[in-house]
Chain A
Amino acid sequence: MDKNIYLHASRLDIGYKDEAIVADINLELKNGQALALIGTNGSGKSTLLRTIVNLLKPLNGALTVFGKAPGTSPSRVAYLGQFHHGGFILPLRAIEVVRMGRFPMHGLTGRMGKEDDEIVHSAMRMMHIEKLGEMPLRYMSGGQQQRTYLSQVLAHRADLLVLDEPTAGLDAGGRDLYLQAMRSELARGAAVISATHDIQEEANMCDHVMLLARKVIAYGPPSTTLTPEALLETFGIVVTGDKRLRVIESVHGHDHGEDQH
């Protein structure tokens, strides 16, 4: 098998034991490539990402990560989930959260050295939070926390980045930094798969997009895939005008509070 194929799925069915969410997914992602998953909340984006990082088992079909079963190469895969856990009680400073991104490279007891510190700091610089290192996570705003989590992902220096709504809660500045960081990760040779609502900038930066609405509506390069018809089927209502597409979501599981332009 081609070593450059980082992610491969054929006839993949995903979901939970008693509920299939999306059937018959086929995709391929090579090093240096990005894939954006687009769809409403509940469309199956998170389910696919969680299956890729082995938090969910595939129901049917084949899925390989670096040519092997999902979950077998933790040091090469970085994952950003949509977690909102008890950060209120946890006494953790931002730098410790980012440093966790180095754990998969060192396992249980491997020593972390100067090089790790440099990687951690450069990841924090990338998201412009280098001055917030000493700040407890619980005193940070939602946007600052998201930047911290993104820095953690960057500090991993992983070969495959699996990101669930990475721009949630970010302001315009944060979103620009994120896009910049992704470009440099791709240039480094990493592959990125992300769930996003940003069909303008982020999706257009990707080599492929996949439109999901509890089934695969379309899959291919953004220029030919993001058609008004396909978006209509994905989201319900689409307004076109002055060359920009605007999506108004019709189906909601829950609202995440981020804006979607």
Chain B
Amino acid sequence: MDWLIHPFIANDFMLQALLAGVLVSIACSVAGTFVILRGLSFIGDALSHGVLPGIAVAFLVGVPGILGAAVGAAFMIGGISLITTRSKLSSDTAIGLLFVGMLSLGVIIISHSSSFSGDLTRILFGEILGISTQSLILQLVATLVIIVITAICARPFLLLSFDPEQAQVAGFSSRLYHNIMLFIIALTVIVSFQTVGTLLVFGLLIAPAAAGALLARRIQIMMIWAVVFGILSMYIGLLLSYYFNLAAGASIILVTVLIFFIVFIIQNIRSRKFFSHRGKAHG
């Protein structure tokens, strides 16, 4: 069984990758839980792609990509709330518009500068095998911030997922806590893009949490399942990439989606048995 741990002991970059992966998994699971519960998938998707031009410009000017990603995310959220408050268009229209706009802008900026050709893949698919200690520390801080905010806002977040109006009447401003939730999602996307890339971070945001939603009866348990599935995908994905020389980011995401479908199928078989049994008992 040595082959299961050997790659991480023998190679510093593999251990760094696994550590980064664990941190990203935790952040994505916490944020992803609310993305799933509140039906914010589309905004999560838009954020993960909307940060692209920000990162491209940052690389062009020579500042850390993470700064560019933050500006891109802020622009995206600001734009969505501007369009939805100043017009009668629904938020998914606003999200869709900005999403394709930002994505195209990102690709144009990157393709225009010839020195960028390698960078595009780096941005889209991440570079989990080349994580610096500095980014690891940043990721650790961001993950802690996300956990602390979620713990403090547990009640309004729960009410918001249950019914936004109930939250409002109970004295928790729906708008404020919705924005805090968006901030958590944005922060997750911003710090995660280096590991799995802007194209794939969305998968890590929803697949483990969605699998958790199928299994859990409580939100806390759903989050724990999501963390377990996220870390498992990181580990399996990295191993596959190591032994079969596959793209690491893509392997991880493929594993996480496969885990979702395995849980989905098992859950379906189990509930079918459950219901046919119940049907007999009552019939």
Chain A residues proximal to chain B, CB less than 8 Å: 53-55, 71, 74-75, 77, 79, 81, 83, 85-86, 89-93, 96-97, 100, 103-104, 106-109, 134, 136
Contacts and interface: CB of A to CB of B under 8 A. Distances in A.
Nearest to B174: A55
A79 B213 contact: no
Contacts, number: 70
B63 interface: no
Interface in B66-82: none
B222 interface: yes
A71 B165 CA distance: 12
Contacts of A92: 162, 217-219
B222 A104 contact: no
A55 B155 contact: no
Count chain A CB atoms within 10 A of each CB in B153, B155, B170 and give the residue with the most.
B170
Contacts of A108: 152-153, 155-156, 172
Q: Classify the secondary structure of B's interface with A.
A: helix
A2 to B, nearest CB: 25
Contacts of A109: 152
Given A91-B217, A91-B219, A109-B152, A85 B162 contact: yes
A79 B155 CA distance: 17
A91 B166 contact: no
B83 interface: no
A104 B171 CA distance: 6
Interface residues of B, number: 26
A81 B216 contact: no
B155 A90 contact: no
B251 interface: no
Contacts of B155: 100, 103, 106-108
A55 B169 contact: yes
Contacts of A96: 158, 218
B135 interface: no
B218 A93 contact: yes
A135 to B, nearest CB: 9
Given A74-B170, A85-B162, A96-B158, 4 more contacts: A55-B168, A77-B169, A81-B163, A91-B213
Interface string B250-262: 0000000000000
Nearest to B33: A91
B167 to A, nearest CB: 9
A107 B217 contact: no
B36 interface: yes
